[in-house]
Chains A and B, each alone.
Chain A
Amino acid sequence: MNIFFERKYIIQAILIFTCFILIVRLFYIQVIDDSYFLSANNNVLRKLTVYPARGIIYDRQGKIIVQNEPVYDLMVIPRQAKNLDTIGFCKLISIDKNEFITRINKARKFSPYKASIFAKQLSARAFASIQERLFDYPGFFVQNRTVRRYPDSVAAQVLGYIGEVDENRIKKTNNYYQIGDYIGISGIEKSYETILRGQRGTKIIMVDALNRDQGSYEQGKYDTTAIAGEKLISSLDLRIQKLAEKLMRNKKGSVVAIEPSTGEILCFVSSPTYDPNLLVGPERGNNYIKLLKAPEKPLFIRPIMAQYPPGSIFKAVQALIGQQEKVITPESRFPCNGGYSIGNRIVKCEHNHSPLNLNESIAQSCNSYYCWLFKKLIDHGNYGSVEKNYLVWRDYILQFGIGKKLDIDLPNELGGLLPTVSFYDKYYSSGHWKSSTIISLAIGQGELGVTPLQMANTMAIIANRGFYYSPHLIKAIGKNQVKKETYTTKHLVKIDSSYFNVVIDGMQQVVDHGTATYAKIADIPMCGKTGTAQNSHGKSHSVFVAFAPRNNPKIAIAVIVENSGYGATWAAPIASLLVEKYIKDSISRPAYYIDRLLNADLIHPTFTETKEGH
């Protein structure tokens, strides 16, 4: 002990005070401040997305139209990708060194610590060869994804395609999607997106300072499994879909076939089409641009977007309205005279014959008959004025699904063209128009625009004798085979079923010994109507609509071959083959009959005109 012994108290005080400072500081960072706890989780926890498989789409017989195929994204964590044998690596995934540098810099810019995609959608084969060598390249790993695969390469426009979701869509969906997610962009992929996409799962893993997987967090307590998208059963029949696409090769136009009793679409062709597999995989972007720029516009979905004046097929509808409005009976006759004259204008008829009755007028497609009928309906109708008569007539047409959308389960459907009263009031000024002003409508020309889907649907209505279900491409959703309510609602047309027989008679005569005898099928009574839709750009469109068999119809069909002339030349035989194939599952026609259709190139200039008949 010495004189300074009291200083021990000061020294003890210093020791205690210093420890107190440490404890206060610890209290602050451990108990008060939460941010360190959160940072620790950020450090060590990684939320991984587990992508669900997208729903598979089947045809009506259970054949797969769209399936999933595994692909492998090559991921990189730039900070770990050190001391690489760059040249060897470039060879492995066949890119050059500059590309390598660009990609790695892009990844580094995103984050040196987090994984980003280095090479997208490697095929299983590329993956197999890379996987063997991957351990040589630290920082690189492979992540599974699935992409769409179309085994038969058909129905491109129906199915649509998927692609990476963009910023806008992410915002619009309240961030449901994340960057890198796939989303349906067109077709069924778009309209059934919420069903097909399934539910993402998450997996929380722990990583060490080098971002290496250290296993799941709390034994996967917070993980959720991915739920695969539900399957869809399409109403399409792959047999006739494939045949139709073959027949329509090198032709512009559409084929739509509907099962009348349900509204299920059996066949939906927009030609020229493309291989849906082109819009999958790493070349998707380039292929898409090519398709977008192609002069034949393969991305244009003709059956629901192209609108044609319906031509003669419209006469069947007119005949039904005329009967329902009681301005004609099956035995009413109108003179032909080779045409219907209005002042010095004349609506020509192909023939000049004695006055025909209703049945014959359809079978022989007499233009004059329908001009007289139209005059009766519009000028001398039951409602007092031209405007009112037109309004009632227009309402009938709307009931047939013409001039409005049919609510098919595809995006971008157009409603067609059906002028309103106010349109004519504006065009001709109110009170200054009557049947003669708008006489083209009588025979399905003029200001009318009807989509192939609407044509086929009209046939379904006639086949059903007065009702239809909205045509649709998906007949059942998911395991429980649910059908959308929209497609189980019967739409009635206010025309007595008794009025249909005479029209159907006429239509059967068209096929049996009228303009479409070339389309006649042995043992299947088919009712049809050819049309030749005039067109200001070159040749008329060849149109044929039909349903078969006459009783208990199984199929209603519309075929349009653009700029190819008469309905009987191209559209009718194509429809005929499809109907036969669908009903009998075989074709009884001779090879030359089919070959002529298969080999015809109606698009490309080298085409030499074949002999036309009707």
Chain B
Amino acid sequence: MSNLGQNKFWKSIDMPIILLYVTLVLIGWLNIYAAVFDESHASIFDLEKNYGKQLLWIVTALFIGLMVLLIDSKFFSVFSFGIYGITLLMLVAVLFFGKYVNGSRSWFEIGSFRLQPAEFAKFATALVVAKYLSSGVKMERFSTKLSVLGLIGLPMGLILLQGDVGSALTYVAFILVLYREGLSGMVLVIGLLIGIAFVLSLLFAKAAILISIAVITAILLYNFRRKKKIIPVIIAGAALVATMVVGFSYVFNNVMKQHHRDRINNLVGKEIDIKGAGYNVNQSKIAIGSGRLIGKGFLNGTQTKYDFVPEQSTDFIFCTIGEEYGFVGSVILIGLFLALLLRIVFISERQRSSLSRVYGYGVASILFLHLFVNIGMTIGLVPVIGIPLPFISYGGSSLWSFTILLFILIKLDANRQNIVK
């Protein structure tokens, strides 16, 4: 690297990613402005309002991104466990010194400045998983799986302890990474089954489902009675689904908090209560739906501007886009995200270093999960889980952490000629 000129360094940086990043961040800023627009603070630079503050976050994020690019790539490999360890410590510390916000204890507060360690744990975990999986371990081995699960489960568990179910759920995204690195495809199928069983256990009485499973199993067993090899598979499958149903209803009723139960019940249409738990989603759907094909135009969205949609600059920022730019704008935004995700996959695949590749998939998976869950919840596809829309939602912690997450990949990619171990 030392014999490469400055010019060459900049040239090695992937410009499409940078462009997509800048575009998304600017879209976010403008929409935060539209979402919380206030006549008496009409300047987009007004620091009393979220849009003015977001500009500060953007400027600092760009600075942090630049710093990441200037750090030697080896740093991320060498200190991956160190960074991971520090974030774990922060996650533990926040349990004792954190401030309660909306029922979860996941924020450090220093003066007027608030920091959410769970956000930073995302890139740390991605880095450590990449480091571990690129260290010559074999995915087929049980011990490998267990270790990876541990590395992912540790921050996830700590975040769950804070009461921040939404952030904890984002770690599920790593399934995609593990799949890419050799975990059996059954993992995805089981994931899907888990989802179905979960919904079933909410919609119907346990007994009814268990009886149905028994009946279906009996029929299948009868049909396949000659094929001795399949019989254990059927029995195992039935047992698995039955266990999950029982397990989910236990988790649902005994582990989750009431507001989670409400949100999920509302999603599966079990309890229609548009003034209670369903209020947010209903208002969010109204805002997006009322945008129609081309939207109401910049600053003309009434639903978000007049506070019908809660959290309109953070978790529900997509409402403003849906309302003011309509279906066309929404598709463009999703298109930009998809382009970003596919570009990241493309970049990951061109890496010679497996650490860079695994990390790249980690980035793609985390962004993908946020995208799907965040937009999905605003349009009623997913229960309300309070996670931000990357680069768009208001918030310093999330913008910084997503910027670091992405820029580490850009740095690794810029340096792809040198294999980082």
Contact = CB atoms under 8 A, between A and B. Distances in A.
Contact of A40 (B303, B337, B349, B379): B303
11 contacts: A2-B182, A5-B349, A10-B185, A11-B364, A19-B335, A25-B379, A25-B381, A27-B327, A30-B292, A36-B288, A40-B287
A3 to B, nearest CB: 8
A40 B302 CA distance: 8
A12 B361 CA distance: 11
B100 to A, nearest CB: 23
Contacts of A39: 286, 289-290
Interface string A23-42: 10111011101011101110
B372 interface: yes
A36 B286 contact: yes
A26 B323 CA distance: 11
B413 to A, nearest CB: 15
Shortest Cβ-Cβ A-B pairs, 4 listed: A36-B289, A40-B290, A208-B306, A209-B307
B342 A8 contact: no
B321 to A, nearest CB: 10
Given A18-B372, A22-B376, A214-B306, A11 B289 contact: no
B345 A43 contact: no
A206 interface: yes
Interface in B43-62: none
Query: Which residue among A2, A16, A26, A37 has the maximum number of chain B CB atoms within 10 Å of its CB?
Result: A26
Contact of B342 (A10, A12, A36): A12
Query: Which residue among A5, A29, A31 has the maximum number of chain B CB atoms within 10 Å of its CB?
Result: A29
Interface stretch (B164-172, B173-181, B198-206, B230-238): B173-181
Interface string B172-216: 000010011110010000000000000000000000000000000
Interface of B: 176, 179-182, 185, 283, 285-293, 302-303, 305-308, 322-323, 326-327, 330-331, 334-335, 337-338, 341-342, 345, 349, 354, 361, 364, 368, 371-372, 375-376, 379-381
A42 to B, nearest CB: 9
Given A12-B345, A22-B376, A23-B334, A44 B308 contact: yes
A5 B349 CA distance: 8
Contacts of A7: 179-180
Contacts of B380: 25, 29
Contacts of B345: 8, 11-12, 15
Contacts of A4: 180-182
B278 to A, nearest CB: 13
Given A11-B179, A11-B180, A14-B176, A19 B334 contact: yes
A385 B189 CA distance: 112
B307 A208 contact: yes
A210 interface: yes
A1 interface: yes
Contacts of B375: 22
Contacts of B307: 208-210
A1 B354 CA distance: 7
A207 interface: yes
Contacts of A210: 307
A321 B418 CA distance: 132
B289 A209 contact: no
Nearest to A3: B182
Nearest to B365: A11
Contacts of B342: 12, 15-16
Query: Which residue among B181, B290, B293, B379 has the maximum number of chain A CB atoms within 10 Å of its CB?
Result: B290
A29 B354 CA distance: 42
Contact of A11 (B176, B182, B302, B323): B176
A7 B181 CA distance: 9
Contacts of A11: 176, 179-180, 345, 361, 364
B308 A26 contact: no
Interface string A368-385: 000000000000000000
B306 A207 contact: yes
Contacts of A8: 180, 345, 349
Interface of A: 1-5, 7-8, 10-12, 14-16, 18-19, 21-23, 25-27, 29-31, 33, 35-37, 39-41, 43-44, 206-210, 214
Nearest to A39: B286
Contacts of B381: 21-22, 25
A19 B354 CA distance: 27
A29 B287 contact: no
A10 B175 CA distance: 13
A209 B326 CA distance: 21
A209 B306 contact: yes
A75 to B, nearest CB: 20
B308 A19 contact: no
Query: Which residue among A12, A15, A31 has the maximum number of chain B CB atoms within 10 Å of its CB?
Result: A15
A99 B331 CA distance: 55
Contact of B331 (A5, A10, A14, A23): A23
B289 A33 contact: yes
A22 B379 contact: yes
Contacts of B372: 18, 22
Given A8-B349, A36-B288, A36-B289, A44 B303 contact: yes
B359 to A, nearest CB: 14
Given A12-B342, A19-B337, A40 B286 contact: yes
Contacts of B292: 30-31, 37
